[in-house]
Amino acid sequence: MIDYLNGYPIVLKDDQWYYEDTKTPTVGSSRPCGHCGKGKTKEGHDSCLGTLPDVVNACCGHGIEDAAYVIFCDGSTIRGEEAKRVQERRHD
């Protein structure tokens, strides 16, 4: 089974996730964004997004548009292309 974490392919082996390229466990690991190469901010946000107003949580998708999301303070959530549009508009 292959999935992605921060834009990096990861594989499940013996009930543990590993980065496909380095074969190192994902648990306890911190890698920069697989798309922009930046690390998280001190608050834990994706650096390319920073802090978005009226947003509880967001993810840039790390190069995978379908993985992008925005969760607003009112509890509503948008994903994919719509989330990328909101992130770009608020980031400018």
The string of pLDDT tens digits covering residues 64-81 is 888 899 999 999 999 999
Sign of CA dihedral 2, 34, 90, 42: positive
Residue with the bigger pLDDT between 12 and 60: it is 12
Report the distance separating Cα 61 and Cα 30, nearest Å.
16
Segment 7-25 shows an average pLDDT of: 93
Statement to judge: residues 58 and 92 lie in one domain: yes
Average pLDDT over residues 1-28: 91
Supply the pLDDT for residue 92: 55
- Six-digit token string for 21: 């390229």
- Same domain, yes or no: 54 and 83: yes
Residues 9 and 40 in one domain: no
Q: pTM surpassing 0.85?
A: no
Same domain, 49 and 90: yes
Pair 75, 56 in one domain: yes
% residues pLDDT > 70 (the chain): 96
